[in-house]
Amino acid sequence: MTLLLLFNITNGLIVGAFYVLMALGLSLILNLSNVINFAHGGFLVIGGYIAYALTPYVGFWGALLLAPPLTAIIGLAVERVLIRPLYGRDPLYSLLLTFGLAFMIEDGTRFIFGPQGKPVAIPPFLAQPLSNDLFFITGYRLFMVAVVFIAVALLFILLRYSRLGVRIRAGTLDLETVAALGINVRMLRSLNFAVGIFLAGLSGVLAAGQLGLEPTMGTGLLMPSFIAIIVGGIGSLAGTLMGGLLIGVASGVTAVFFPAASEAVIYVLMAVILLTRPRGLFGEEGMMS
């Protein structure tokens, strides 16, 4: 029983790490540009399939390095052409547009790569379990968590210390003043969008190694990421981080006792949070209204 619980908590943490990576990207874009990026799952899929296409030539490690920046470049182009005209309009429009985009990406990947799942080969030494007792902790899972940890740490360092990061944080609080101080807000939004999409691409590569690739895989991860943001508190990246881990573990633990509810439990969690603490765990007063 303990082992089962441990197994599911580990599972939950790993799944939660995915949610975190997705949700942080979404959250960045949402905070600065007021855009709910429905196509975020689509960009995850793009990242995964780029990695799949690159692996035969550059190997897993090369794909891991190359796929996220390539995804970010695609994201940059999409932002420039499709999303930039919508800033300043009702958020409804960017929502609808990215929603349509998500359709196109899913259908496009199905058209190009076929509807069947595609495996991505991971280096053999990562596929081994660490020990016989803890059979479920493969090297790859540890590796994934490590990558997520490093990515998140880098993101927070970037936001805390770099000029770009300071501007993004300032823009989240008051974009108008940032613009008045002579900072190119369009550029800022583009770069911020690219950072968010980079994270989506990275989670795509990682997910590809763990679960294999399917055109629909992004959709399933999108909704938990939304909930991670709401639970953690809109406007707070630290909250998004905690929210993602929390719902991952919560659904993992529920899977032990009541498997059918393992997906529903995160919604219950959200309802409870919204009832007792409407701004979310780490949200600041007024950010959600």
Partner 1 sequence: MQSRKLIVLAAIWAVLLLAPYWMVPLGGYTALATRVLVLGLAAMSLNFLLGFTGVLSFGHAAYFGLGAYGAGLTLKYLALSTPLAIVAGMLLGGLCGAILGTLIVRRRGVYFAMVTIAFGQVFYYIAFQWSSLTGGDDGLRGFARQPLDFGLLKLDILTDANSFYYFVLFCFALVVGAMGFILRSPFGRTMIAIRENERRSRFLGIPVERHIWIAFTLSCFFMGAAGALYALVNNFADPRGLHYSQSGDFVMMAVMGGMRSFWGPLLGAAVFVVLQDYLSSVTVNWMSFVGLLFVLVVLFFPRGLLGFFQRSRA
> Which chain residues interact with partner 1 by CB under 8 A?
30, 34-36, 38, 82, 85-86, 89-97, 99-104, 106-108, 111, 223, 226-227, 229-230, 234, 260-261, 263-264, 267, 270-271, 274-275, 278, 288-289
88 backbone dihedrals φ, ψ, rounded to 5°: 85, -10
As measured in angstroms, the least distance from the Cβ of 132 to partner 1 is 34
Cα 277–chain centre separation: 24
Q: In the complex with partner 1, which residue's Cβ is closer, 206 or 230?
A: 230
Instruction: Give the separation between CA 22 and CA 82, rounded to whole angstroms.
Output: 21
As measured in angstroms, the least distance from the Cβ of 59 to partner 1 is 32
Beta-carbon count within 10 A of 149 CB: 12
**Is 78:101 a contact under the CB 8 Å cutoff?**
yes
Q: In the complex with partner 1, which residue's Cβ is closer, 91 or 212?
A: 91
Q: For the chain, how far is it from start to end, CA to CA, in angstroms?
A: 44
Q: Residue 88: which of 209, 185, 231 has the closest Cα?
A: 185
As measured in angstroms, the least distance from the Cβ of 217 to partner 1 is 16
Q: In the complex with partner 1, which residue's Cβ is closer, 3 or 92?
A: 92
As measured in angstroms, the least distance from the Cβ of 31 to partner 1 is 10
Which one-letter amino acid corresponds to residue 161?
Y
Beta-carbon count within 10 A of 130 CB: 13
**Is 239:282 a contact under the CB 8 Å cutoff?**
yes
Q: In the complex with partner 1, which residue's Cβ is closer, 84 or 183?
A: 84
Q: In the complex with partner 1, which residue's Cβ is closer, 56 or 286?
A: 286
As measured in angstroms, the least distance from the Cβ of 68 to partner 1 is 24
